[in-house]
Structure formats: structure tokens, C-alpha cells
Structure 1
């Protein structure tokens, strides 16, 4: 029996290996037991799912168990963005919510994200204890009803509308300004769940919207459903060929964002985060700090300092960002992988809202997106981040964990080291502008290296040295 492990972005496993009906049912039973222990059974659970293979079926596997434990369930019974499930948890004030998704992982994965009251990603204390609860259960401990009984149960509320979620975003936007710019936007949902949500919002704002890669394809067109520079070639070409103002892409469950500007250039999520923070401070008059994780650009710090604000650094995992935002009343929080949120919206990343807010920024600026970004660079300077991922076996991982994170065996870097942090993997801060992080992914069997320096040559030299030191390929 393969143990279940909830990481920084929930539980994710290869379909038919770790992601099985047996494990999904154990997770649902553990949640039911937890709710009984907390005396919140009557407050119910929200369950949703994305477009991945077996997502809809797995959602109902979980419902069958929850109903077997007499827990009311609201099932959003259509593929929807993960942030919509988070919004529903908050709107209905349920203590927990589940979404069947593996987010941006490759197509052979599926998984479950766990949310707590307020629509928050479950924090480490919850996921650690929950993991222990799940792995303490066997199949004999699961109490479930038959599928037909679950679907007919009075404890089940089936919801198919997403309009409440969309209206909440529309209410937060300056729709009047967007309407009068008549922007032309190409949308790439990457075969995921974003099309209906983003297209509805943008068409309501009188934008011209072209959509590519919209069909239901559990293999995601043969790509990893993550909006990176390497996966958005078709969107780049579409923006340039159609003379669009920008292109918007979202990952498989629509909580992460990728942007192509009017010239066909990919805007790194770091750049999007800094642009939106600058926009909220300078154009909308907001005040407050920013929050980023340890592998996200320090250019955000420059913008914060220039406006008398602070930028807080937290470990990887959006739960840490949302918690710090609440603590500090931050304006914005985000990560270099494409997730961000803004004060007053969800306490979790939302690619639908972030993309819509970026459209508002372009409309209000009355400049092409490429010019808006160049203006930012002219004011605050440029930092270049490179990132690499190295897949490895469990044995190789154990070797490197000992060598790097226990023995602290680091390369001799060609630049002066200011300090080193081991709070979440390892982060080396160089004197002046520059840093590098080394950490294992919480959702995939890979070692991730992020390096940000004043120019690409310096960043590449640091990454090459790390790869050579540890024999990474």
C-alpha cells in the first residue's frame, strides 16, 4: 500500500499507481473523521474537479464516502477552476473543501487539493496531521454508500453554475475602463478549465477574444499544462499573427497564469507580479507590503522599498503566502511559478482573477504591454532569473538530500556569499543583487534550482556550477 503524502500543493500521484479509488476513499474517510472530531459534520464540504482523466469520477468517489458519514456535500458537478472551489468554500463558510486536480503536473498525474475555512490552502499543521490520519486507515475503515444512493441523497447539493464566482471578480474590476479600450486578447486555457470563466469576463468587458487549445483533452495536447515560455509557442504565434494586444494562458486548473505581450514575448510570472504590484500602488493608490516566496524575484523588493513598503519572504507553498498576507495586510502575494492573489480577493492563487486584473492594467495604462514593462525596467532596473528542474530516482534524491541539506556541501561560488538560509531547502544570498535556491519539489520527483542575477550570463554560470558539483543532468 503506497502511503499518501500531502505536499506544498496538495496530494498528487501517478494515475493507477498512487492515485487510486482506494486512496481517494481513504482521504475522504480521514476528512470525515476529522470533521467528526472537530464537531463540524453538519457544516458540510464543497467538492469539485477539473478536466483530468478520472477527475469527475474521483470527486464522486469522495462524495460517496462523505455521504456514508452523513456529511452534507455541495458538489460542483462540472470541470471548473480550482479557485472557484476555494471561493465556494469561503462563500458557503464550510470548514473544508476538496478539489480533484493535479494542477500543472503532467497528464499521467491526478490528485486532491484540500482547503480549509475561508477558502484557504490547508496549512502545514493541517496537512501533516491529515496525512497521518489517512495513512492510519485501511479499506475496512471506509464507510461509503453506493453511487446511486449518493447521487439521490438529500445530503447532496449539486451545483453547476459558476456565475457567483465570476460576478465576484467582475465586481472587483474597473470594467468601464476596460470596455472603452476594445482590447484584442488571445486566450489559451491549455486544454484546461479556464475558457468559460475568462472568456465570459472578457466578453462582458467588450474585449475581442480568440481562443486556442480549448477542447477537452486529458493529455493536454501532449504538453505539460503549465504556462511557461516553452509551452506557449502556439500562443506567441497567435498573438503576433492576429495583431492582438496580449495573450493569456492558465494552467490545467486555472490557478496559475502565463502572459504573452503584444510583441509575442513571454512575460515571466515574476514580471507579472511586479507589474501588478506597481499598478496597484501607483495607479489605484493602494498601500501595503508585498509577499513572495523564497524562489521569486527580488525586483519586487525594489518596488516595495521605492514606495516605503516592505517585501516579506516566505517558504514555497501558497499557503505561506496567504498566511503572511493576512498577517501583514499585504497588497499582493505571489510566486515565480505563476500564482498570485491580491488583498480582498481569495486567500489563494487565482489565474482567472490575475489575468482579468492584468487586462485592467493594460486598459488603464493606455499603452502596449511591452511598453508598460519597459517603463518598469527603466525605473527599477532588471534582474534575470533562470530555473532548472532535474528528475531523479528515490535513491539519488536521498543521496542529494544528505549531501546538500544535511551536510551543507555547497559549491565554491564565483561571487561573494552574504548569507545562507536552510529554512526551506537551501537559499544562498549573494552580496549585492543575486541569489540561488536549491530544493526538492513538494509535488514531483525533481530537484529545482532557481537563480536570479543582474544578467543571464551570471545566472547561467551559477546554475552550471551547481549542476557540475552534484552531477545533475
Structure 2
């Protein structure tokens, strides 16, 4: 099991457990894994990101590897740039949706997709053994990469009906969350001739607007702006711009599951007999929708790496997570907030219906999630205690306790924070509320022992 890599890259509190010395040595290990350059480096808007970038680039240069810096870009923009512009790999400096005191690094392979779990272990082995490149025949150099954002946006535009979307003159609210999509999503909407209204548009690593993670609880400004501006759709991005949460024309915030169901249905109508990959904690309606289009669903452990790296060998068309991470295989097998926005605009332009009407046509689903603080040393005791009480449960990733496919609770430790997450689905809102109340209390009781 990886020691430093969590659910999504390496993260820590900057200058505490994520120091510049650690970044330097880990970059030597990552560079040794890549073997050769050039490597593309990008970063989010956190205050520590530019100095970390300098350490990353100089560490790569010290072992003879050339690199180019793209500057502030969304994670999916960096990943698409690696794939499209001929790089040997990429390093994204970000802690995604974590609070402002965190930062992190996330390597991308040559194919523009996050490295696999096996490759994470290879990098950690190099790190622990200090088995990195020594005495290179030449020093590497650091340059700049100016093409990344334009390449990224043109890639997205190639997968949607731009002319049809332009003709609709959509009104769109972008809650940029003081994050990295501020450098790309507004330009994307401008290219599609949308009338765009911006919320939290200034890049600020302290995330003063609403925090770095979009949740139904902190998107009231997005909802109000959609109603005030009579917008067709609103969207909120996380800190590094790979995840997105939608708001419909009536101001309702959609769960990641709901928007994923809608987009999957839209894509499968045009591409039946396809493969969809999602995590164990996503709702059960995805199987029902996929079956209508002779398509199959594969389930993975929680984490975008798990989904992405299952999509690549299976050539899956769609991947998603319940947290708003959506992946369109024809573009790149990674979470991409701006690609997801493009697909939603394509859906609305094609259907001619409002987003709220489209949502009303989906089969009803009742899902929710919450989190409970949990020291890492308590995690094993928690899962073991629940497994003892529910011996027939699925323990592939934490523990999933099911009555049937429509009624279940899943509890798993976060791979990025000292918390456990509790997910649930039920056949009615009443049962869902009851399940969550029961299991949140159960989890807190076990942790407090």
C-alpha cells in the first residue's frame, strides 16, 4: 500500500508534512520514474504553488530532465497538454479541493492520465531507496509552454456541436471558486457565444469565496445568481478545475450522481453498446440507464485514478464519481470540469428542454453523503467493528453494507484528509434520512471508544 500517494496524488499541509525538501526528493523519484523529458509542469492558485514549481523544475533539471512550465492551469488542462503536445509526462502542483493550507503533487503519465497505483508504488520505492538518477550527462533546462490552454479548449470544442450551442445564446453562470478554471472556462463560454456571469472569479489560493470544494451547502450564491440572471445553467468548479457541480435553471443544486446520469444518457443515445466506469459509492440508477442503451457498467474502488486506469485498457467511453468528477473517454480519461460543461451545453442544445425539465425525466434517486472526523489510527478499528456486525458486507473499499442494490450505506476513510466518509442510497427520502442518522451515530460511537 502506498505511503504518500492518497486517493488522488500526494497531499499535505505545506511546510509541515509537505515540505520543500520532501517535494525536491519526491520529484527526483518521479523524474527517475519518467526517465526522460520533457515534462510539463502546471499549478493551481495556492500561494505555495509557484515556489513548489521552482523546486520541482530545478529538481528535474538536476537529474538531466528538461521541463516546461504552463503556469496556472486546471489539472485536466495540464493532463491534456501532456497527451497532445508530446510530453513524456506531467506534474500538477495542486491539493484539489483540500483547504488552503494544503498543497500537493500529482504526476500524469505520457498518455495524459494519472499514473496507476502500481506506478505510485514504483515511485515510492525509488524515493525510499534514494535510487534516483545521479551524475547526468547534462543538466536539464526549464522553459515555458504557452500553448496549453488553447490546445485544451480546442480539444473540448472538437467533441461538441459548437454551431448548435452558439445558436442557442445560452446564459451561463460560472462559479469559479477562486480556482484554476478561471483561466479557461470563461474563454470557453466566450468561444460558444454564451452570455456568461462570473462568481468568485479572481484566483486566490485562500479560496475566500466559498472554499475550494463545491458542495450544496456553499453554493447559495451560484443558485441566487442563476435565478437573478435567468440563466439556463450554472456550474461550480473545485480548486483545480477537474470536478464540477451543476445548478439548474430553477436554482436547484444537482448532486454529481444526478448530472452524471443525465450526461451518460445523452452520450449513450449517440453511442450505444458502450462501457461506463464508476465507483462503488455511486447510485444504482446508472445500471438502469446503461441497460437501455445495451451498455455495461464496471465498478471500481473510490478514486479518480481507479476509474481512469480502468477506462484506459477497457476503452470505456464514460467514467464518473459521485462527487462531480466526470470523464469523457473520447477527450481524455480524466475528470474534466470544462469538458463536462461542454457536454451539458451540448445536451441542452440538442434536447431543446430546460435543465430542470431534463432532470425531472430521470428515474427518482435518493443519495447523500457526510463525513466524520477520524484519526488514522482509529480507521482499522472502525471497519473491523462494522465488519463484525455485518459479516456479509463488501469490504473491497472500506465497507459497503447493503440490504439490496437500492438501499445501502458505505463507510470508507478519506485518502486525503483525517476523516471517514459515509455514503448512502435508499428507495425514499424518509429511508435515506433514517439510514444516515443511524450510521452516522454508529460511526461516531465506535470512533469515540
Q: Taking structure 2 as the reference length, what is the TM-score of the superposition?
A: 0.93
Task: Say whether the 8 Å CA contact 2:61–2:140 is kept in structure 1.
Answer: no
Structure 2: distance between partners of 1:14 and 1:273: 32
Aligned residue pairs total: 443
Q: Does 1:457 align with 2:436?
A: no
> Which residue, out of 359, 376, 390, partners 1:394?
376
> Which residue, out of 90, 93, 99, partners 2:92?
99
Partner of 2:231: 244
Q: Does 1:428 align with 2:401?
A: yes
Task: Say whether the 8 Å CA contact 2:383–2:398 is kept in structure 1.
Answer: no
Task: Say whether the 8 Å CA contact 1:48–1:85 is kept in structure 2.
Answer: yes
> Which residue, out of 307, 312, 322, partners 1:336?
322
Partner of 2:389: 410
Structure 2: distance between partners of 1:362 and 1:308: 23
The alpha carbon displacement at 1:58 in A equals 0.4
Partner of 2:353: 367
Structure 1: distance between partners of 2:42 and 2:395: 36
Task: Say whether the 8 Å CA contact 1:64–1:144 is kept in structure 2.
Answer: no
Partner of 1:177: 164
Structure 2 residues without counterparts, runs of 5 or longer: none
Partner of 2:13: 14
Q: Does 1:293 align with 2:273?
A: no
Q: Does 1:127 align with 2:113?
A: no
Q: Which string of whole-angstrom CA distances, capped at 9 and with x for unpartnered residues, describes residues 97-131 of structure 1? A: 11000001111111111111201111111112322
Q: Which string of whole-angstrom CA distances, capped at 9 and with x for unpartnered residues, describes residues 360-419 of structure 1? A: 11121111100011122xxxx212111011112234335324434xxx2336xxxxx9x5
Q: Which string of whole-angstrom CA distances, capped at 9 and with x for unpartnered residues, describes residues 268-294 of structure 1? A: 110111101111122x34441211101
Secondary structure, aligned partner of 1:267: coil
- Equivalences for residues 67-466 of structure 1 within 5 A: 67-76=61-70, 78-137=71-130, 155-161=141-147, 162-221=149-208, 223-282=210-269, 284-376=270-362, 381-404=363-386, 408-410=387-389, 420-431=393-404, 433-466=406-439
The alpha carbon displacement at 1:71 in A equals 0.4
Structure 2: distance between partners of 1:372 and 1:398: 42
Q: After TM superposition, where is structure 1 displaced by more than 4 Å over at least 4 residues in a row?
A: 141-145
Structure 1: distance between partners of 2:100 and 2:389: 35
Q: Does 1:471 align with 2:444?
A: yes
Relative to structure 1, is the Cα distance of residues 394 and 323 closer, same or farther in structure 2, using a 3 angstrom cutoff? closer
Q: Does 1:58 align with 2:57?
A: no
Partner of 2:31: 32
Task: Say whether the 8 Å CA contact 2:178–2:209 is kept in structure 1.
Answer: no
Structure 1: distance between partners of 2:228 and 2:23: 45
Structure 2: distance between partners of 1:118 and 1:193: 22
The alpha carbon displacement at 1:422 in A equals 1.1
Structure 2: distance between partners of 1:409 and 1:457: 27
Structure 2: distance between partners of 1:370 and 1:99: 36
Structure 2: distance between partners of 1:394 and 1:107: 21
Q: Taking structure 1 as the reference length, what is the TM-score of the superposition?
A: 0.88
Structure 2: distance between partners of 1:323 and 1:394: 27
Structure 2: distance between partners of 1:420 and 1:143: 49
The alpha carbon displacement at 1:451 in A equals 0.4
The alpha carbon displacement at 1:84 in A equals 0.9
The alpha carbon displacement at 1:432 in A equals 5.1
Structure 2: distance between partners of 1:33 and 1:184: 47
Relative to structure 1, is the Cα distance of residues 218 and 22 closer, same or farther in structure 2, using a 3 angstrom cutoff? same
Structure 1: distance between partners of 2:380 and 2:295: 41
Over the aligned positions, Cα root-mean-square deviation in angstroms equals 2.3
Task: Say whether the 8 Å CA contact 1:4–1:134 is kept in structure 2.
Answer: no
Which has the higher mean CA deviation after the structures are superposed, 365-374 or 316-325? 316-325
